[in-house]
Amino acid sequence: EVQLVESGGGLLQPGGSLRLSCAASGFSVSNNYMTWVRQAPGKGLQWVSAIYTGDRTFYADSVKGRFTISRDNSKNTLYLQMNSLRTEDTAVYYCAREFHSGSLDYWGQGTLVTVSS
């Protein structure tokens, strides 16, 4: 059974750093495209970052230069390193597996990141 479980969220002050993890089971992150999507409280979905085969990475303009997506194939885990956090980064962060034509077929339960002074 395919499962994604995020962890690492929390409360921190502006300017801080945090690393989110997404542990996968039932498939291998090494040969799948993986994505992070976030959702601010009461708002819609925002695509954040993706990592493809060959470790090609992509970022939304709003996080470029501050966030880094990576994966550890030996742990079958996806990561999102978030630096220089801002209040507008407050959101539930979901990891998801890319399926056919860029759609996202499996999602984790989400982890809440709150950036506040």
Partner 1 sequence: DIQMTQSPSSLSASVGDRVTITCRAGQSISTYLNWYQQKAGKAPKLLIYAASSLQSGVPSRFSGSGSGTDFTLTVSSLQPEDFATYYCQQSYSSPYTFGQGTKLESK
* CB closer to partner 1, 16 vs 27: 27
CB of 25 closer than 8 Å to CB of 1:
yes
Instruction: Among 9, 58, 68, 114, indicate the residue that binds partner 1 (CB under 8 A).
Output: 58
Binding mask 86-115 for partner 1 (x = CB under 8 A): --------x----xxxxxxx-xxxx-----
The least distance separating partner 1 from the CB of residue 76, rounded to whole angstroms, comes to 19
Stretches 12-20, 21-29, 54-62, 79-87: which one binds partner 1 (CB under 8 A)?
A: 54-62
Query: Measuring CA to CA, which residue among 18, 1, 28 is closest to residue 79?
Result: 18
What is the rounded distance in angstroms from the CA atom of residue 48 to the CA atom of residue 33? 14
Q: Strand runs (DSSP E) across 1-117, as ranges?
A: 3-7, 10-12, 18-25, 34-39, 45-51, 57-59, 67-72, 77-82, 91-98, 104-107, 111-115
Question: Binding residues for partner 1, how many (CB under 8 A)?
Answer: 23
Which residues are at the interface with partner 1 (CB under 8 A)? Answer: 35, 37, 44-47, 50, 58-61, 94, 99-105, 107-110
